[in-house]
Amino acid sequence: MINSVEWMVSQATNYIVERQYIDGSWREAPDPRITETALACIALQKAVDPDCRKSVHRAREWIQNAIPQNHDRTAELIEETLKTLALGDRFSIESKLNSSDPILIARTRLLYAAMLSAGYEIPDSILSGLRTDLEVAYKTARKAESKPWSLSELFSVRVIVEYRAGNHDVAEKTMRELANLQGADGSFFGNPISSSIALMAMLMIEPEGRGTRQCASYLLSSQHTDGTWRFIPVDIWDTTLIIRACRGVPIFDSKALGPAVRFLLAQQNPDGGWSCRKDMDSDNDTTAAALLALPDEPDSWPAIDKALAYFSRHQGSDGLWRTWHHTQDPPVPDVVAHVVSALNRFDGRHDMSIDNALLWLADREKGVMNWAADWYYPISYGILEIINALPQCGVKMRDVLLELADGQNADGGWPPRPGQKSRPSATALTLAACAYIPGTLDNAKKVKALRYLRKNMSTDGTWPGYPDMFGPRPLLSHYQNETQAFIVMGLRTVRDSGA
């Protein structure tokens, strides 16, 4: 069985190495989903350019047969609604979209704005409540340190809603604020969601404006050959993940590791942090991942020290770290775990206390669902990253791993969440997590899991991938590079344990 594991690691790593960019990174568009394509379609159908009409036609052909994401009822409602709006079908407002979750409230606002842009009417009672909610959100955002792409979406929605409500002065004032966020390439942060909703707003206020034409041109140029638009690539994040998974594999170390490290060092932001992709604000999760990926060598030490100073500035009064640097973003387990692991790795280079963070990570009830991550869907991802951060696992974590191991399906794989179908990425992450405490996964289960992975491996060294990463929540994205990294990580833990 070890020979089979070694062969799978080799094939998977070869695939990864062959797809490294010349700058040392790994960069890919995620799989298509309804959200981005439908929003771009709704925006462009209001433009009069013949190229826009052709683009919309191609998009609708793809949307017609696309299936909404269904891992979460809210995600399904979002995609069902956008599909209906993009195809021009009859539509009734779904009251279940109401939520007290700030993230889901923002998604609901976006849906109402898309409805208004597409020419649908919204009852006065809903429109009035939406305007009140937007006014509060607008005033809060002006005071808080909001993510710039979220700010652009808020401005766009406010322009659309106020314009349709007849309050043109407010709409035009907000439009000027929105215009200040537009990039040189015509997009809003290279994000098709932000850019599409902005184009809807711009077509209302300045249908022939220069910025409007530039935004439409950006969307036209970023449409894929299959008629879709895709969520953003996350080249920096994926590069850190691949280094963590593959470092130590001979072909990776000889061909890919050096360029990958140089890429990461070149992408550090002036504040000492890293962002998940180029030209974005630093976030704590990617910064921690970069510290876990960089070698502890003299060439990296200046960057490491800058990153440690960054973490010192952004540690909260509770001893924790958020993902982003704004007050409405709460600490989440996978981000805190990554920061703790990074600080543990470079313990002698800083004086930050992680005591509160360790207590916070360990203070969870039994049951695998209480150890879920915030940025990835498979339960095993959250368990793996938390256990990696805790120096002493204890009885509670052993019980969690035993419960996780007991969730193995008859085909030998593990599901992302209990009761679901097996997925290669979730299977590999479970193997990696259970390796931390000997005895939590017996040899028979390991053998079944390896047979499952071998059976599902393609001839090119890949496995079928499924949406695993949240973004924007509650939607999921699938990046094949991440699937590869997770599986290499799991296979190597099995190989190294001698199973």
Domains of the chain: 2-28+233-497 (1.50.10.20), 34-222 (1.50.10)
Question: Alpha carbon 143 to chain centroid distance?
Answer: 26
List the pLDDT tens digit at each of the 499 positions of the chain.
Answer: 667 899 999 999 999 999 999 999 999 999 999 999 999 999 999 887 889 999 999 999 999 999 999 998 889 989 999 999 999 887 665 544 555 566 677 888 899 999 999 988 888 888 998 999 999 989 888 777 678 888 999 999 999 999 999 999 999 999 999 999 999 999 999 999 999 999 999 999 999 999 999 999 999 999 999 999 999 999 999 999 999 999 999 999 999 999 999 999 999 999 999 999 988 999 999 999 999 999 999 999 999 999 999 999 999 999 999 998 776 788 999 999 999 999 999 999 999 999 999 999 998 877 888 999 999 999 999 999 999 998 776 678 899 999 999 999 999 999 999 999 999 999 999 999 999 888 899 999 999 999 999 999 999 999 999 999 999 989 999 999 999 999 999 999 998 876 5
Of 477, 441, 449, 481, the residue nearest 462 (C-alpha)? 481
Predicted local distance difference test score (pLDDT) of residue 366: 77
How far apart are alpha carbons 165 and 160 in whole angstroms? Answer: 9
How far apart are alpha carbons 204 and 116 in whole angstroms? Answer: 11
Task: State the burial class of residue 218 (Cβ atoms within 10 Å of its Cβ: 0-12, 13-18, 19+).
Answer: buried
pLDDT tens digits, one per residue of 102-135: 667 788 889 999 999 998 888 888 899 899 999 9
Phi, psi of 470 (to 5 degrees): -75, 135
As a three-state string, the secondary structure of 64-107 is: HHCCCCCCCHHHHHHHHHHHHHHHCCCCCCCHHHCCCCHHHHHH
How far apart are alpha carbons 377 and 104 in whole angstroms? Answer: 17
Predicted local distance difference test score (pLDDT) of residue 365: 75
Does residue 174 sit in helix, strand or coil? Answer: helix
Q: How many CB atoms lie within 10 A of CB 490?
A: 30
pLDDT tens digits, one per residue of 356-399: 999 999 988 778 889 999 999 999 999 999 999 987 766 788 99
- The dihedral built from the CA positions of residue 431, 321, 287 and 185, taken in this order, carries a sign that is positive
Q: Which two tokens stand for residue 133?
A: 């909610």
Predicted local distance difference test score (pLDDT) of residue 95: 47
Does residue 166 sit in helix, strand or coil? Answer: coil
What residues contact residue 174 under an 8 Å CB cut-off, 6+ apart? 138, 155, 158, 159, 162
How far apart are alpha carbons 172 and 59 in whole angstroms? Answer: 30
Question: Alpha carbon 187 to chain centroid distance?
Answer: 19
